[in-house]
Structure 1
Amino acid sequence: MSSRPADEREDEDMGIDATGGETTSRPVPPTEKYLPENEIADWRFELTLPDALAPNKEEAKAKIMMKIRADGMLPYYTHLCESLGWPVDQSLVESLRKANEDELKGLEDKIKDAEENLGDTEVRDGLLEKAHFYCRIGDKEAAIEAYQVAYDKTVGAGSRLDIILTLVRLGIFTHDLSLTKKNVQRAKDELEKGGDWERRNKLKVYEGVMLMMIRSFKEAAELFLSAVATFTATELLSFERFIQYTVVLSMVALGRPVLREKVVHAPEVLQVTQGDHDLRDFLNSFYQGDYKKFMEKLIPITDRIRSDRYLHLHYRYLVRNLRLRAYAQFLEPYKSVTLGAMASAFGVSPDFMENEVAGFIATGKLSCKIDKVGRIIESNRPDARNALYLQTIKQGDALLNRIQKLSRVIDM
């Protein structure tokens, strides 16, 4: 039997000592090497890209195969063979199957021994180790089920949150948005019962990545900005990659005051952009109105977005809206401007600029019109007071209609 009561050990997991005070640091769980390892999913995604965007595919494949052999990832290897059309190496399959069966039997024996001879905490640890095993080898469904069993045996709020956050990472790893959303909400509910600042900040990043994947860029940018100074979620993505997302999404979704205060002059952003000249010049050229450089730097940034596992599905939308924000920013101080002058500012031809602006006007994204004969763009932004007046009249009419319908029902 363990020398300490189970509830005391659960308190330690939460960062609380037996006397009720906080410990100096949270004990590291047994397998923190966080699972699943998201770099594997990045390598797998790299194999699906065109050669121009992914020149090191053979290296990525070699890294994946090394991880498969080292971690016994038979289910994940089978999935890759099916999805990528790889030939199946039967000798590798048999060796991985034997290794998995032996390890699983050892885990089952450990859990059984804990149930018969030890305490609840040891049983929980064994169940969690089994769940980590399934997660490590890439058996998604078995991992979800095993984590739920371990969760039901877990008492401490911190330890329960760790399990839920692992399920969030598993959802992100497999691009299962349903699993990700469900467990992000579970984590929020659990945090209402208690949780330390580190886990709260990790959840902000996890939720931001989820929102980024479903194209809720404004909400994602706000969450990222709130986590910049306290970023610790390196198990999901590197700090440099996190800052890149923060910069690009903020440029797409947030206004200039926020961009100036929380991005352009933020020490954490400056720390990364000092070594990333493309990202630095892209951000500064947009903010400072150097639109020719902005268009030049948009090219390498577009390549990054296209080759990013989370953003590649949205790259057309992102690039289009980055250009839109730049065009709107350029036009804002002008009542009218020639197509030639605007094209020159952006370093493109007048015909290209005309087609671009006309497309945004047609979809209602830019409030202006083009004088085709004079080759002039004229702004026609609506007056804010008149817009408010029209909105008030429209809402008033809707309210009167509802009152009339209600009065007819009452009269009956």
Structure 2
Amino acid sequence: MGETAITVPPFDADWFEVQKRKAKAKFEKLDQELNVYRCNSIKESIRRGFLYLGEHHLEMGELSKAYKCASKAIQHCCDKTTMLSAQLTFIKLCIYTQRWSEVISVSEAAIATIESENERSRSLMPYLGKLYAAKGIAYLCEGEFKKSAHAFLKVDIENFLFPENDVLKEKMASKCDAEQLEEISKERKLMEENLIVREILQTYIDCQYKKLFSLLDSIRTHLSIDVYIEPHVNSLYMRIRNRSFAQFLYPYSSVSMQTMASTFDTSVEEIERQLILLIEAGYITDRVIDSIDKYIYMRKPDPRHVLSQKADIQLRKLRRLVETTVIRNLIHRTNIAFKSEEPLMDRRRNHCE
């Protein structure tokens, strides 16, 4: 199949110059208004001036200047509502510039402001879902999948235009941590927004690994379109596969690699290679591979070795006790000692005597 040629239109220098002059004139107007607001010393006017100037810089693609304006707008807020609005704008700029640590810190401060209210004001509640979503994205981009899942779990799904995107991020992050599975199944009904995600989660719980990986492959393209989760797709898939291996081996004292190959829909050689990597990485412990018979066994503890380890620990404790006792006696013989001062009541009693 031949590729369709894309014709790039020629550069319009006249249009570019016109837009450049308009942008310059708008900047000068906004900057002049901001200077007037500063002279009047009205905080709300100054905040709006920085906000409008930051929006102009954002339209022009000047992210660093827009970030500075959003940061200064926060410093001139008069009430909690305007503060939260300015913080959301600042968080948006931090996401654009990939300042994930600042996204987390500012979102946590804003969430604390909302939750500190004795009675949560309805006017502030719409901000809460956006703050948790931003926090979840920041943790996701930093590779903190467990914290990301916790943040996405607190998002009110009714506040979003495309809830399936939030569901996908939440489930992909949460499946990397088995502790989240019970919490998700009990507390959330987000799977209703995306049936395939619900099916993936159910197959993972039911240990239907062949179907699980088939479903994961079917949504891989959709996940790769997402700008935030795409860099972590391979890592997430690998973690899910590794956890599936560990989950499969958990109830068995010994199992054939042929059985595993049939369960995971792959070859025996690939199963053996992955098991070796997982054992070397310490992800799977107390397992021994029989490369001849193609079996993997649970390593039985040697009673003598266990007893030797316990004796070694006790010997180290005894040696430490003897050393400290000898040092204490030597210090006492040389009259080197640190004595605490007498209590106040004892000093008064001695003075009276």
How would you bin the TM-score normalised by the shorter chain? Answer: 0.7 to 0.9
State the Cα deviation string for residues 360-391 of structure 1 (Å, max 9, x = none). 112111122211122112234989xxx9xx89
In structure 2, give the amino acid aligned to 1:273.
Answer: N
Q: Counterpart of 1:239?
A: 163
2:263 to 340, 345, 359: 345
TM value normalised by structure 2: 0.74
1:95 aligned partner: 18
CA distance in 2, matches of 1:402, 1:304: 62
Cα deviations across residues 3-25 of structure 1 (Å, max 9, x unaligned)? xxxxxxxxxxxxxxxxxxxxxxx
* Amino acid across the alignment from 1:266: R
Equivalent AA in structure 2 for residue 149 of structure 1: K
**2:181 pairs with 254, 259, 265, which one?**
259
Rounded to whole Å, the distance in 1 between the matches of 2:295 and 2:33 is 78
1:148 to 60, 66, 71: 71
CA contact (8 A) 2:176 2:236 kept: yes
Shift of 1:174: 2.5
Q: Is the 8 A contact 1:291 1:326 kept in 2?
A: yes
The 1:96–1:382 alpha-carbon spacing in structure 2 relative to 1, beyond 3 Å, is: farther
Aligned counterparts of 1:198 and 1:399: Cα–Cα separation in 2: 61
Query: Is residue 357 of structure 1 aligned with residue 286 of structure 2?
Result: no
Aligned partner (choices 80, 95, 106) of residue 29 of structure 2: 106
Cα distance change of structure 1 residues 173 and 120 upon mapping to structure 2, 3 Å threshold: closer
Post-superposition CA distance 1:152-193 (Å, at most 9, x none): 221112212221222222121222335434534554565576
Q: Shift of the alpha carbon at 1:359? A: 1.3
SS in 2 for 1:337: strand
Instruction: Give the greater-gyration-radius structure (CA).
Output: 2
Q: Deviations over 1:211-251 (max 9, x none)?
A: 11111111111221232xx24664xx832111001111111
**Are the counterparts in 1 of residues 107 and 132 from structure 2 also a CA contact under 8 Å?**
no
CA distance in 1, matches of 2:325, 2:113: 43
Aligned mate of 2:153, from 202, 213, 225: 225
Partner of 2:137: 209
1:311 is aligned to 2:226: no
Residue 147 of structure 1 aligns with an amino acid whose one-letter code is: A
Distance 1:128 1:364 in 2: 51
Q: Are 2:245 and 1:324 aligned?
A: no
- CA distance in 2 between counterparts of 1:284 and 1:135 reads 43
The answer as to whether partners of 1:131 and 1:146 remain within 8 angstroms in 2 is: yes
SS of 1:378 mapped into structure 2? strand
Gaps of 5+ in 1: 1-54, 66-86
The SS at the match of 2:143 is coil
1:200 aligns with 2:128: yes
Q: Which moved more, 1:190-199 or 1:89-98?
A: 190-199
Deviates more, 1:282-291 or 1:301-310: 301-310
Query: Are 1:298 and 2:216 counterparts?
Result: yes
State the distance in 1 between where 2:226 and 2:247 align.
27
Identity between Structure 1 and Structure 2 (%): 22
Aligned to 1:11: none
| Equivalent AA in structure 2 for residue 177 of structure 1 | W
Deviations 1:32-78 (A, max 9, x none): xxxxxxxxxxxxxxxxxxxxxxx99x8xxx9xx9xxxxxxxxxxxxx
Cα shift readout 1:381-412 (whole Å, capped 9, x = no counterpart): 989xxx9xx89x97996899699779969946
For 1:395 and 1:134, how far apart are their aligned partners in 2?
68
Residue 129 of structure 1 is matched in structure 2 by: 52
CA positional deviation for 1:305: 4.0
Could you tell me how far apart the structure 1 residues matched to 2:324 and 2:92 are? 51
C-alpha distance in 2 between matches for 1:244 and 1:221: 10
Q: CA-atom RMSD, angstroms?
A: 4.1
8 Å contact kept, 2:114–2:125: no
Distance 1:401 1:181, change over 3 A: farther
8 Å contact kept, 2:114–2:128: yes
Letter in 2 for 1:247: K
Does residue 85 of structure 2 align to residue 162 of structure 1? Answer: yes
CA-CA distance at 1:290 after TM superposition: 1.3
| 8 Å CA contact retained: 1:331, 1:379 | no
- Preserved contact between residue 169 and residue 229 of structure 2 (Cα < 8 Å): no
The Cα of 1:252 is off from its aligned counterpart by: 0.8
> 277, 285, 310: which one pairs with 2:203?
285
Distance 1:382 1:201 in 2: 50
AA partner of residue 70 (structure 2): Y
Structure 2: how far apart are the matches of 1:201 and 1:137? 29
Distance in structure 2 (CA, Å) of the matches to 1:135 and 1:399: 68
Mean Cα deviation higher: 88-97 or 188-197: 188-197
Q: Give the one of 277, 294, 312 matched to 1:375.
A: 294
Q: Which amino acid aligns with 1:249?
A: A
Mapped to 2, the partners of 1:298 and 1:405 lie a distance apart of 59
Q: Which runs of 5+ in 2 are unaligned?
A: 337-353
